[in-house]
Amino acid sequence: MAEHRIKTPLSDEDVKKMKAGDKVYLSGTLFTARDAAHKRLVDLVKKGQPLPVDVKGQIIYYVGPAPAKPGQPIGSAGPTTSYRMDPYAPTLIERGLKGMIGKGPRGEAVVDSMKKHHAVYLAATGGAAALIAKSVTKSEVVAYEDLGAEAIRKLEVKDMPLIVAQDCHGGNLFEEGVKQYSRA
C-alpha cells in the first residue's frame, strides 16, 4: 500500500503508478460534475460541439456541495455515488479525462475505458463532507450555473485525502477488500 502526493494535471505515468489500495493526497485543480452536467457534456460530444471545460489531463469530482457559509470557499462537499455517472464516463475518458473521484464501485464499461486510455478512479470518504471541504481552498462555478448544486465548479484543493479504488490495471479494492475480509 503506497502513498502518493500528486498534483493535477495528470499524465499517463501518474495514472499507471497508482494501484488499488494506495493512499493519495491530491493537490491542484478539480472539476465537479454530477448526472445533469454529465448528460449535457456527453450530448455536446455527440453533436461534435466544444465542451465548456477541457477535460484533458483533468480529474472530475462527483459532488454537489452544500451552500457555503460566509467566509468558507465551499460548503460540506463529500462524494456522491459514482455508478450514476457510469453511462457518461467512458466518453469523457476517451477525450482525455485522467481521473474520477466518487464513492462506490464503477462498472465494466468504465473500467475497460480506464484500462484503454489510462484513467484512475479514486474514492473519497462518503459523508466526511465537512472534513473534505477543508482541503478546498477555492471554488468557482465555470459552467451550467442554472444547475445550482449540480453546476460544474472549478476547485483548487490541497492534500485532499483519497484512496485508489479502481486502477488502470484492473485492480479493484471493492472486490479485493471484500474478499480479504469476508468470513461468510
Q: Return the active site residues.
A: 38
Minimum CB separation of residue 11 from another protein in Å reads: 26
Neighbours of 10 (CB within 10 A): 24
Residue with cell 460541439: 49
Binding map of another protein across residues 118-147, x = CB under 8 A, - = no contact: -----x-xxxxxxx-xx-------------
In our burial notation (b when 16+ CB lie closer than 10 A, e otherwise), range 54-69 reads ebebbbbbbbbbeeee
Pick 117 or 166: Cβ nearer another protein: 166
Cα end-to-end span (Å), the chain: 25
The SS3 of residue 18 is: coil
DSSP β-bridge partners for residue 176: none
Size of the site for another protein (CB under 8 A): 48
Residue 39 or 115: the one with the smaller Cβ distance to another protein is 39
Q: How far apart are CA 179 and CA 75, in angstroms?
A: 36
Nearer to another protein, 36 or 51 (CB): 36
Residues 12-71 binding another protein (CB under 8 A) are 21, 23, 36, 63-69
Question: ∠178-168-44 over CA atoms, to 5°?
Answer: 110
Bridge partners of residue 103, in order along the sequence: 81
170 binds another protein (CB under 8 A): no
* Residue number with CB closer to another protein (99 or 102): 102
Q: Which residues bind another protein (CB under 8 A)?
A: 1, 21, 23, 36, 63-69, 72, 75-78, 80-81, 83, 103-105, 123, 125-131, 133-134, 148-149, 161, 163, 165, 173-174, 176-184
